[in-house]
């Protein structure tokens, strides 16, 4: 694609990581030619920004379907009531607000470390389109890390070491488990009542977390459409690398996370209302920097079907185990 307006109705503005789509009019139906050009641009860049482009849920869904079929998120609790292919981030569907203090002095709500969506399931999703509806006046950035570029930067000896390696992943919700290798901070504690008067209880209890038994995925994958290799790890959910003790495993995770989070591989998005970020979940990880809890931040997100089917259970589930994807509201 060129930087100028094309015959398919948009132009591409490359960013240091990813690209911005300019001039796409979602008030009009999306043609097959536009759909094909958008998809090719996405595969090339991995993340696409549509700045202030989507005003309605119908537009959000139509744009999402340019990149494949949609699937319902495996957590029914966060699906939007009137549109199950959308999930709600922030707001009342996530339960009471919670705020924590990071690195001793940063009071933040909604902070998440580096992760790949649904990496705690057997079938890690293909991608997602996130639109923020309500944006705090400051902070609240989302970071995206290119795990393809990170893999390319690895020493050859490290590539050989991890080529056939697997990792064990388990769903983690608690911030106390989010200061290990791959996080963006070193310490986490609950806010005191004086610091934040809201509830500090997590919305997800043990009964939800227990729906997702530990799974195993490869550390390196070959993208099924581009053929390029990527680091497939999701630091938030990694327990250990298979065959390593915890000390050795954490050291390797810290090394790999360092490449992922290198500034040359990261794009930080500062949101305005109705921005949409699309990412290839097979290639990119993301993290949320959080925001001052006196403000609000709400969003809607679709999930793209078409997983690599790369996972297996770490241990055989119980006979009465019901996969989360089959649990209804």
Query: Of 4-13, 128-137, 267-276, 295-304, where does mean pLDDT reach its minimum?
Result: 4-13
8 A C-beta contact, residue 21 and residue 10: yes
Contacts of 105 (CB under 8 A, 6+ apart): none
* pLDDT, mean of residues 207-224: 90
Distance CA 184, CA 141 (A): 13
pLDDT at 3 > cutoff 60: no
- % of residues, the chain, pLDDT over 70: 89
Contacts of 264 (CB under 8 A, 6+ apart): 16, 149
Q: How many helices and strands in the chain, by DSSP H and E?
A: 6, 19
Q: What are the tens digits of pLDDT across the range 64-119? A: 999 999 999 988 888 988 899 999 998 644 444 578 999 999 999 989 899 999 99
Phi, psi of 246 (to 5 degrees): -65, -40
CA atoms within 13 A on the CB side of 132: 19
Q: What are the tens digits of pLDDT across the range 125-164? A: 999 999 999 999 999 999 999 999 999 999 999 999 999 9
How sure is the predictor about 36, in pLDDT bands with cuts at 50, 70 and 90?
very high
- % of residues, the chain, pLDDT over 90: 71
Q: What superfamily would CATH give domain 11-315?
A: Clavaminate synthase-like (3.60.130.10)
Contacts of 132 (CB under 8 A, 6+ apart): 271, 272, 273, 274, 275, 297, 298, 299
DSSP state letters, 160-205: HHHTT-EEEE-----GGGSSSTT-S-S-EEEPPTTT--S----S--
How sure is the predictor about 329, in pLDDT bands with cuts at 50, 70 and 90?
very low
> 224 versus 4: which is more confidently predicted?
224
pLDDT at 1 > cutoff 50: no
pTM to 2 decimal places: 0.91
Mean pLDDT over the full length of the chain: 89
pLDDT at 300 > cutoff 90: yes
pLDDT at 10 > cutoff 70: yes
Distance CA 328, CA 324 (A): 9
DSSP state letters, 252-315: HHHHHHHHHT-GGGEEEE---TT-EEEEETTTEEEEEEEE-TTS--EEEEEEE-------EESS
- What does DSSP assign to residue 232? -
Residue among 230, 41, 43 nearest 127 (CA): 43
Q: What residue ranges do the domains of the chain occupy?
A: 11-315
Q: What are the tens digits of pLDDT across the range 154-212? A: 999 999 999 999 999 998 877 767 788 888 899 998 888 888 886 545 555 667 777 88
* pLDDT, mean of residues 10-28: 96
Query: Of 1-10, 14-23, 31-40, 258-267, where does mean pLDDT reach its minimum?
Result: 1-10
Distance CA 84, CA 94 (A): 15
- What does DSSP assign to residue 213? -
Q: Across-strand partners of 134?
A: 298
pLDDT at 5: 52
pLDDT at 221 > cutoff 60: yes
């Amino acid at each position: 694609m060129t930087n100028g307006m094309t015959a398919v109705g948009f132009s591409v503005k490359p960013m240091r990581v990813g690209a911005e789509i300019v001039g796409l009019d979602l008030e009009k139906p999306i043609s097959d030619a536009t759909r094909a050009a958008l998809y090719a641009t996405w595969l090339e860049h991995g993340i696409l920004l549509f700045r202030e482009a989507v005003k309605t849920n119908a537009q959000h869904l139509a744009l999402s379907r340019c990149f494949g079929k949609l699937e319902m998120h495996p957590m029914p609790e966060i699906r939007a009531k009137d549109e199950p292919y959308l999930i709600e981030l922030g707001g009342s569907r996530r339960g009471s607000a919670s705020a924590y203090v990071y690195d001793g002095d940063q009071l933040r709500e909604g902070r998440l470390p580096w992760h790949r969506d649904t990496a705690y399931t057997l079938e890690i999703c293909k991608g997602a389109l996130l639109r923020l509806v309500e944006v705090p006046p400051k902070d609240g950035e989302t970071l995206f890390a290119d795990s393809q570029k990170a893999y390319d930067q690895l020493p050859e000896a490290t590539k050989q070491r991890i080529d056939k390696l697997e990792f064990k992943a388990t769903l983690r919700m608690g911030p106390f488990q989010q200061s290990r290798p791959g996080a963006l901070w070193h310490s986490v504690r609950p806010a005191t009542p004086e610091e934040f008067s809201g509830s500090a209880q997590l919305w997800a209890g043990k009964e939800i977390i227990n729906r997702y038994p530990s799974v195993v995925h490869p550390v390196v994958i070959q993208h099924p459409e581009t053929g390029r290799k990527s680091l497939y790890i999701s630091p938030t959910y990694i327990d250990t690398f298979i065959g390593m003790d915890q000390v050795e495993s954490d050291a390797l995770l810290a090394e790999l996370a360092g490449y992922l989070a290198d500034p040359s591989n990261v794009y930080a998005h500062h949101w305005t209302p109705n921005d949409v970020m699309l990412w290839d979940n097979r290639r990119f990880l993301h993290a949320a920097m959080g925001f001052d809890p006196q403000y609000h931040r709400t969003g809607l997100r679709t999930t793209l079907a078409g997983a690599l089917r790369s996972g297996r259970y770490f241990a055989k589930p119980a006979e009465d185990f019901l996969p989360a994807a089959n649990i209804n509201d």
